[in-house]
C-alpha cells in the first residue's frame, strides 16, 4: 500500500489535533499502515486537502470534500472510539 496522507483537523490546528494525530499514528502503526499525518485548523482544511487520502476532524468542517472525512471527537472522550478507528481503517484500506 502506498504511503497514506492524512490531514488531522481541529479548531485552531494546534492542541486538539496534536492529541488526535498521535492516537491515529499509534493506531495505524499497529495496523502496519504507513502514513504521513499533517495537522491544520478547520479554516485551512479545504486548501490543505490536495492529495489527501483521509481527513480526521474533531470539529465541523466548512466545506465538502472529495476524500472521506472521519469525525473523531471520540478519540478525546472515549465514547465510540472503536467505531472511529474502524472508519479510519476502512477509509484507508477500501477507499
Partner 1 sequence: MPMPTMILDERLVLLDAVQADATGVISALADRLFELGLVRPDFKENVLAREVEHPTGLEGMYCRFALAHTESTYVTQSALAMARPVLPVAFERMDGEDGPVLVELVFVLALDSKGHLEVLSSLAQHLQQPGYVQQLLGATDPADVLALLAEL
Is 10 a catalytic site residue?
Answer: yes
Q: Is 25 in the site for partner 1 (CB under 8 A)?
A: no
Q: Indicate which residue of 6, 7, 9, 10 is catalytic.
A: 10
What are 56's three cell numbers? 480526521
Among 7, 37, 49, 59, binds partner 1 (CB under 8 A): 59
Contacts (Cβ under 8 Å, ≥6 apart) of 12: 41
Q: Using CB under 8 A as the criterion, which residues of the chain lie in contact with partner 1 when the complex forms?
A: 10-12, 14-16, 18-19, 22, 42, 58-60, 71, 73, 76-79
Amino acid at each position: 500500500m502506498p504511503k497514506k496522507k492524512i490531514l488531522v483537523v481541529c479548531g485552531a490546528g494546534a492542541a486538539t489535533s496534536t492529541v488526535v494525530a498521535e492516537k491515529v499514528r499509534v493506531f495505524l502503526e499497529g495496523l502496519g499502515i504507513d502514513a504521513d499525518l499533517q495537522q491544520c485548523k478547520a479554516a485551512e482544511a479545504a486548501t490543505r486537502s490536495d492529495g489527501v487520502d483521509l481527513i480526521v476532524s474533531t470539529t465541523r468542517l466548512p466545506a465538502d470534500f472529495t476524500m472521506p472525512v472521519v469525525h473523531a471527537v471520540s478519540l478525546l472522550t472515549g465514547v465510540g472510539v472503536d467505531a472511529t478507528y474502524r472508519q479510519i481503517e476502512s477509509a484507508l484500506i477500501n477507499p
